[in-house]
Amino acid sequence: MYKRKLTASSFVRKSKLIIGLDLVADFSGKDASAMRIERERLEQDTLKVISQTAEHAVAFKINRHLILPLGISEGIPRIVDKIHDEGLTAIVDCKLNDIGNTNKVITKYYFDAGFDAMIVNPLVGMEGGLDSVFETAINRKRGIITLCYMSHPAAKDGYGLTIAPDDKGSKAEPLYMRFARQARLWDVDGVIVGATHPGKIQEIRTALGDGIPILSPGVGAQGGSAKAAIDAGANFVIAARSIIEAPDPSAAAASIAAEIR
């Protein structure tokens, strides 16, 4: 299971840091030739960041910042191969959120590109939504991580909504608590809870128990504290801009890793 890989990597590397590779291309005003050069720069810069920071990480997370400009069948497999060469795993942060057939096709593309785990949105539910994703992940020995409470300020407008009780005897509860209970039911490889909301981390940790890791994004640029997130019950923190935009990404990663060691 993927969560065991994360735990093993954390034990070996004495770290709880996942690094987000949110590097950005600049295509504005460029012709096709200049855009090709920009894609090459973006790929090389990303490979350099991986080399500089891998010793402090337990995994790398790739968002659409890279997927859209580099391509799922071109630059991205080379990025994932580099992560694997460093002895680490790659998480695709696509927040998958569609009907089952579409989800199945998207999942195949990402896993074919080499990704070890995928972040999905539990809002679409299991039957006809995520069932094909979980089936594919199990068959290919890959991981599924579900959203529970995101790191941005407006997370309360969605994840914080209260669900009314139903006629089967369920109690009113926040949507994020329903997502936490679903995560246990589905035996996912982790849940996302923003480091900017340590109180929510504590609450969700109580609901989850110890069997499912909490991954907390929002450290650094978004104002989340790595130490506060870990103290509240997170197993791993995710930092991106505060590392990749630092003058010395290696030192920035080392600093966060040391803070939560």
> What CATH number labels 2-253?
3.20.20.70
State the pLDDT at residue 95.
96
Q: Encode pLDDT of 222-231 as tens digits.
A: 788 999 999 9
Name the residue ranges covered by the structural domains of the chain.
Answer: 2-253
Backbone angles phi, psi at 64, to 5 degrees: -70, -10
Give the pLDDT confidence score for residue 126 in this predicted structure: 97
pLDDT at 167: 66
pLDDT tier for residue 169 given thresholds of 50, 70 and 90: low
Q: How far apart are CA 136 and CA 144, in angstroms?
A: 10
Stretch 168-195: mean pLDDT: 91
Band of residue 146 on the pLDDT scale cut at 50, 70, 90: very high
Question: Cβ distance 53 to 13 under 8 Å?
Answer: no
Q: Are strands 173-174 and 162-163 parallel, antiparallel or unpaired?
A: antiparallel
Q: Name the residue among 53, 17, 20, 61 with its Cα closest to residue 260.
A: 17
Share of the chain above pLDDT 90, in %: 88
| β-sheet bridge partners, residue 192 | 147, 215
Active site residue 108: no
pTM of the model: 0.95
Contact 62, 91 (CB under 8 A): yes
Looking at residue 261, its pLDDT comes to 83
Please tell me what DSSP assigns to residue 233: T
Catalytic residue among 5, 16, 48, 95: 95
Does 120 score more than 80 pLDDT? yes
pLDDT of residue 260: 92
The H-assigned helical ranges of the chain are 2-13, 32-53, 64-70, 76-85, 100-112, 131-139, 175-186, 198-208, 226-232, 241-244, 249-259
Residue 64 has a pLDDT of: 95
pLDDT band, residue 1 (cuts 50/70/90): confident
| pLDDT higher than threshold 90 for residue 172 | no
Residue 168: burial class (beta carbons within 10 Å; 0-12, 13-18, 19+): exposed
Average pLDDT, rounded, for the chain: 94
DSSP percent split of the chain into helix, strand, coil, nearest 5: 55, 20, 30
Give residue 207's pLDDT.
Answer: 94
- Which helix (H) or strand (E) segment holds residue 91: the answer is strand 89-96
User: Tell me, what's the pLDDT at 252?
Assistant: 96
Tokens of 155: 């997370």
How far apart CA 53 and CA 245 sit, in angstroms, is 12
Check pLDDT > 80 for residue 70: yes
User: Of the ranges 21-30, 75-84, 99-108, which one carries the lowest mean pLDDT score?
Assistant: 21-30
